[in-house]
Structure formats: structure tokens, C-alpha cells
Amino acid sequence: MADQSIPEARTPGTPQIPQTPEKALNGETALNGGLPESASHKDGISRRRLLGTAGAGGLMLGAAGGAVGYAARPAEATPLTSLGADQVMFHGKHQPGILQPLQARGHVVAFDLTAGAGRKEAAALLRRWSETAQRLMAGEAAKQDDTDVARDAGPAALTITFGFGHSFFARTGLEKQRPVSLDPLPDFSSDQLDKARSNGDLWVQIGANDALVAFHALRAIQKDAGQAAKVRWQMNGFNRSPGATAHPMTARNLMGQMDGTRNPKPTDADFDQRIFVPESSAKDPAWMADGSYAVVRRIRMLLDDWEQLSVKEQEDVIGRHKSDGAPLSGGTETTEMDLEKTDKAGNLVVPLNAHARITRPDQNGGAAMLRRPFSYHDGIDADGVPDAGLLFICWQADPLRGFVTVQRKLDRGDALSKFIRHEASGLFAVPGGATEGEYVGQRLLEG
């Protein structure tokens, strides 16, 4: 997330002017989570940015006996804040939306190819999608039939990511190119999966730091599908807005717990081998080089039950203090957890079934995955229970060694299991990033 300083006190109704507009335009922002700043900025100003920086005219509001409102002010160019100006490049070694910090708004959507659509139609679709993604991520309008929803905004760190589901390969006659790692996930005891909201031929992840920018991208992607594909399912998510905290912090989920404390970092010596498929993989097809596998799970949180617990009981379930994310064994959020530490009565300080204990890589043969989730809230049901939880998205070079290994361990005795329910699931092969002049998936579809 971007870390923006707390604005100085100002008179209500006075427009806020960034203290250092030249830095805002150059995108000099601090990002959260220990991930590198992948956003870069093009020279010059796009059409959308130009529209977004134009000064607005004054507004006069009539009232009985006189006029009240804001005084008219001359039109002047006011730069976008860094939040709107942040841009992530579409082209690169890896697809966008994996290494970037958590975004404030997200959409995930799966498509199925329509009857009669095959490899040729899929290639044309991925070409359209890639062109649209490149334009929107640069803060430009869609090439055709732009809805103008994001006309006044900058790119707002928009990312659009594409993946292929297990069924895609049979639909396109590319079964021999289907990765072994894309075999269906096993069943887990906590699963209550809705098949209509699981899997799919194609998967798209959209993230941005502005809700309108994210929705605009979702609508453009849906329209681009045309007659080639139809929506199978779609879900919406959110995270804390950049700058909402005084300094960068690990995000919290809807249970109020910090979520992502032990995420692997690009600075880790083995980060790439855990998260991305190597170029010379003996297991994966060549078209997956520099790609990753995304596991997507809609995990409903049983918040009414969770909130009946005391803070101490919640902390025992997780294995960390709720206030600051520090392990129950002591220290700060980043302190290594002492799994052997006991209290005066001889009981383990971190319970054996604590979620944080069970998910530790050293308790799972080194299994690790890069978690990049969104929270969701889809209303309140007839019984007054919130339909809310986590759109869990994790990235790994091998889902069998990553997600499956950890989930099997959780299945056998995680204290958190009684407070969550897995309601939808998907596994997708996400190829490496497209080079200049290439569309995502081209090495598969034209190889």
C-alpha cells in the first residue's frame, strides 16, 4: 500500500493541494509489505490524466434570502495525488497483480468459452484482453466503447492478470500443453463448495486503488469477451485504502487479525523458486516459464461465532496478539515464534492447534505461498448473518507443495477451522508476463 502522510489541518471546503506536487506526479510513494515498488510512470500526460488534473469551476448554491456555497475560482492545473498517478507496467517478466502491494479494490471473474469457441477464438480474446489491459493500466481509455467510468482518474495502480483453468485445455485442443500442476485440488473437510462459483476456463484478477477504476476495468474485460466467452462467476473484494494508517502495516482481515505477516518477500534467497516457474522446468511446459499458479478460495468467516470469543480466546486460535500481530511467545510482529515456550503451568504459550503454528513453513516441509487476498462482504442474509470473509488468493510455483500441503495440515486440526467455511475454489495456471508486441498466453496459443 502507499504510505501517505497525514494532511495538515485545513479550513473545511478548502481544496487540498499536495505539498510536493512534482513528487506526486513522479509517483514517489512508499509501498507496504516489503514488496518492491513495481509501478513506473510514463513521460507526459495521458488524455485521462489531463482530464483528471483540470481545475473545476466554482459552484453556487441558492438559499432563501441569498446565495451560499463555494466561491468561484479560476481554472488551474492541479496535479493528481500519488494515489491516482501510480502506474504499473503491463509488460514484464511476470504478469502484474502478483508482486504489487495489496490494492484497495479488487474483482475476480471466471469465464467459460462459449459453444463452438476454440483455440482460434481464445487467441483473439487474449489478444483483445491484453490490449485493453495495457491501455487501462496506462490510464488511457479502452480502444472501443469506453464507458467513461474512470475518465477523471489516473491509473490508480490498476493491475489486470490472466490465467487458464484445467478445462480450458480440452476446450481448445491443447491437452498436451496442460501442466500436471493444474490437476484438480483434492477435497478438504472444511469444503462446502458451490460448483457454479468454482473453477472456469479462464480467470481474470483486477485490482486498483480506486473503486471506479477497478469497476471500469471489469466492465471493459466483460465487454471484450464478446461472443467468445461468458461469465461463469464473479466476486468483489476490498482492502484498506493506501494511506489510511500512519505508517505501512500488514493488512487486517474481517476478523480483525493481521493477515500476511509471514508472507515470503522478494528479498528471500528462495523467493523465485517458491513463487515462479523456472525457465528450465522439468515439470512444467515451456509456456509457463516465469509464471505462477493461483489458488482462489472464497472463505466465509462465521463472524457472529468468532465475535463471541474473548480477545484472549481469539489470540489462542490464531497464535498471535490481535493488537500488533506479535506471536504469543513474545516480541514484535516479525519476531520468530518460539513454539516450545511454556507458561508457569507448563502449557505451551502457542497452542498446538493455533493457526499460526500450523501454517509455518518449517512445520510444512518448507511449503510457502505468496498470499494476496481481498476481503469481501456480500450483504446480510435473512437471519441477520453477514455474508463476509476472505477472497483468498495465493501464488506458488507448485500448488501441490504450496497450498495443498498447508491446507492438508490445517484440515487435520486447525483451531480456526470451526470459524470459517470454504465455499468456492479455483486453480489457475498464470503464464509469465507478455513482452512488447506480445499478448498474454501467446506462447501457449500460438506455440
Catalytic residues: 259
Q: How far apart are CA 117 and CA 119, in angstroms?
A: 7
Write the DSSP string, 229-266. EEEEEEEEEE-PPTTSSSS----B-TTS-B--TT---T
Q: Assign residue 19 a region: left if phi > 0, alpha if psi is -120 to 50, beta otherwise?
A: alpha
Helices (H) and strands (E) in the chain, counts: 12, 13
Q: DSSP readout, 97-147? A: TSSSPPPSEEEEEEEEEPTT--HHHHHHHHHHHHHHHHHHHTTPPPSSS--
In sequence order, what are the residues at sequence separation of 6 or more whose Cβ sits closer than 8 angstroms to the Cβ of residue 437? none
Residues 6+ apart with CB under 8 A from 110: 165, 199, 200, 201, 202, 203, 204, 231, 232, 233, 234, 426
What distance in Å separates the CA atoms of residue 66 and residue 63, rounded to the nearest whole number?
6
* Among 296, 301, 300, 299, residue whose Cα is nearest residue 185: 296
Instruction: Report the alpha-carbon distance of residue 154 to residue 138 in Å, rounded.
Output: 8
Cβ proximity of 136 and 220 under 8 Å: yes
Q: How far apart are CA 36 and CA 32, in angstroms?
A: 9
Q: Is 425 helix (H, G, I), strand (E, B) or coil?
A: strand
